[in-house]
Amino acid sequence: MVETESGVKRSQEILPTALLILLAFFIRAHSIQALPPFNDESLHIRRAELIYKFTDRNLNMTLGKLLSYYWIGLFHPARLDAILVGRTASALFALLGLAAAYSTARLLFGRIGGWVTLVLASFSPFMIFFDRLALSDGLTAALGMLVIWASLLMMRRASCDKRCPLAIWAGTLSGLVIISKLLGLPMAGVPLVAVLTLNCQRVIRLNLASLRQTLRIHQGKLTTVYITFGLVMLPFIWHIADRTITGKYVNVVNNNLINGAAEEKSPPQVLIDNLSSLWTANQVLHGSILWILTLVGAAYVLWKRPREGSYLILSTLLAWSMSLVFAADLSTRYLTLGVLPSLVILGGAVSLTIQEAAKINIEKPSLPFSMPERGAIAVLLVWLVWIPLPFINHTWNDPTKLHLPEADQWEYFGNFGSGYALVEAARDVENLPRSEPSGRVQVIGLVGSCHQIRLYLDEHGPVKLECPFFGWQGEFMQDVANLIDERAAEESTVYLLVEPELRFTDLSMLHVGWELIHRYPRPFNGMAVELWRVYPNLPQSRERDTPIAE
């Protein structure tokens, strides 16, 4: 009878939890192509197409964003469906992070803490926006949360004086989060933080001697964690070392993202600017009230549950540390790694507040709802109606109406990496007159994200697209100009897609004449794309805004 009642209670908890996770997936997967593709998504997809051919060791083993290539590649995305498949795969992986966030909060703060955390994470605009993109950041965030969860299990389910098999999981996941993205490197410290904060010893005085004693007691766990971690990382470290020794250097990180390299900032200025960006991103995407409640909640959890609070706060800081300290050109997506643990903190604070207000035991059934619980539900509903639901509606139907930080409006809507304008241009060039003698529409792309245009064009369709490399300083523009001369001499009609505002291309170096066929604007006064028809050896250019169907 007791077992039956226990099973009923367990099913009553599992069913709504599973339904909420499925709802979170629907939110992320529905109308997933509403936002035109982003530059880096195209690069991820291209590498995913090649990764399982195992013909390029650098591609298969160079750390950076490697795991997302393998994950997306598992689904074998066809060219014209690649964005749909890649984004859906990322949204699917994100569910692991939601489950880990729920489980972590459930273990630390009980059922209420778990459910509040899961609601916050499922409807978080921060996570929704980036989980819907075929990028490595959503995978990294999920794996980072799994590291926090596994390290907690390691401390909770193993006795304090014996080696813990769960340490293998913690070590493996610590390696995988780095393979997913190098910004996850500090997460390798989470198992150590778990040992230092969640150990079952009574600390009378915090000093070096007590620290040594803790490490000695948990030496077996930590040894298992970091041996496993080393084994996971060994092939990739060997690859980098081998390439370095043989002089075939591999680029592990983009130098423009390293501290000060992009904008010549001092380390303190980088940190100050990035802290400001962190504040702005959370304030805009979650709302000022929720962000302030998160910060207040962190202090409250630390006060009420010093060990658990220390563990979660330090884990969150580790998740954000590398981005805040080193990224001279910080993108909001780099910060997703710390969002889920920060929401666990807030969920825990809500749970502890309800307990204090109602003087109830954390394991007491939550139905019928107590007055404090009803108050928490009311606040959650107000937040859902005020912030996430409008965000979700715009995400599905018109992403240009999304309330985003200005930097993200530029990056995903107005900059050359945005698929806006390129999608429309690709659709139009298929209807242009074909050239002779090739019998195809000859298009040369002088746009910053030319490679993504192929995702909208049938490989065997009417358009032949060429994307010559002009160099990130425009150093190969002369070669590009010569290529255009050759095509103009060979074909009866040649078209160019250009971004006049793109600083990497000096269009004055072109030798051909041209006329403007159509101009494609980007949202928020972004960089426009222009479609030109070019002519060989004409002395001057002529502009004309004519319909695409002429």
d(CA 246, CA 33): 43
Taking the C-alpha atoms of 212, 217, 219 and 225 in order, what is their torsion angle to the nearest 10 degrees?
Answer: -110
Distances (CA, A) of 495 to 182, 266, 466, 525, 538: 40, 45, 10, 25, 15
Of the candidates 29, 31, 40, the one whose C-alpha atom is nearest the C-alpha of residue 418 is 40
- CB proximity list for 504: less than 8 A, separation 6 or greater: 448, 470, 471, 472, 473, 474
181 φ/ψ angles, rounded to the nearest 5 degrees: -165, 135
Q: How many CA atoms lie within 13 A of 178 on its CB side?
A: 24
d(CA 180, CA 411): 22
pTM, two decimal places: 0.91
Of the candidates 265, 261, 284, 286, the one whose C-alpha atom is nearest the C-alpha of residue 274 is 265
- Does residue 359 come out as left (phi exceeding 0), alpha (psi in the -120 to 50 range) or beta? left
Preceding amide of 390 cis, omega within 30: no
d(CA 260, CA 153): 39
pLDDT of residue 439: 92
Q: Which residue has the tokens 């009417």?
A: 462
d(CA 354, CA 126): 26
Position 9: which residue type?
A: K
- CB proximity list for 450: less than 8 A, separation 6 or greater: 465, 467, 497
Fill in the DSSP letter of residue 85: H
Q: Which helix (H) or strand (E) holds 446?
A: strand 441-446
Question: Within the chain, which residues score under 50 in pLDDT?
Answer: 1-2, 259-260, 361-363, 366, 539-550
The 10s digit of each residue's pLDDT in 92-145 is: 999 999 999 999 999 999 999 999 999 999 999 999 999 999 999 999 999 999
pLDDT of residue 511: 86
d(CA 117, CA 132): 20
Check: CB of residue 101 under 8 Å from CB of residue 117: yes
Check: CB of residue 537 under 8 Å from CB of residue 481: no
Q: How does strand 513-520 pair with strand 494-498? A: unpaired
pLDDT of residue 546: 40
- Percent of the chain having pLDDT more than 90? 71
Q: Provide the token pair at 391.
A: 């965000």
Q: Provide the token pair at 412.
A: 């995903």
Written in H, E and C, the secondary structure of 479-537 is HHHHHHHHHHHHCCCEEEEECCCCCCCCHHHCCCEEEEEEEECCCCCCCCEEEEEEECC
Q: Provide the token pair at 286.
A: 């979650």
Of the candidates 469, 265, 237, 332, the one whose C-alpha atom is nearest the C-alpha of residue 38 is 332
| CA pseudo-torsion sign 515, 544, 448, 40 | negative
Check: CB of residue 411 under 8 Å from CB of residue 331: yes
